[in-house]
């Protein structure tokens, strides 16, 4: 099992990134959350089996069709034990 924190930068707000990330996470059995941050980036925490996390991180480099991902930062972190994957409205 693996936990990662992701920051996605580029044209990632106002393009359905959070909804698409939730759909992708749900399909992969990943738990955590996604939110828009004030700096224009998207921040996520994601937990699941390592193979699913790797696939999710790969998806984040593309995002939904309208997105223009420029950078994805990934950091490992301690397991939290999320029960679902949620869209948080914005800014922490």
Report the catalytic residues: 18, 36
Instruction: Please give the C-alpha separations between residue 26 and each of 4, 9, 14, 70, 92, in angstroms, as whole numbers.
Output: 16, 22, 21, 24, 21
């Amino acid at each position: 099992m693996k936990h990662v924190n992701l920051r996605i930068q580029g044209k990632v707000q106002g393009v359905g990134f959070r909804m698409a990330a939730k759909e992708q996470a749900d399909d992969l059995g990943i738990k955590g959350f996604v939110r828009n941050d004030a700096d224009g980036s998207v921040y996520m925490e994601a937990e699941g089996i390592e193979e699913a996390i790797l696939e999710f991180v790969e998806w984040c480099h593309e995002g939904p069709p309208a997105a223009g991902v420029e950078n994805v930062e990934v950091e490992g972190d301690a397991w939290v034990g999320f029960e679902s994957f949620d869209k948080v409205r914005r800014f922490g």
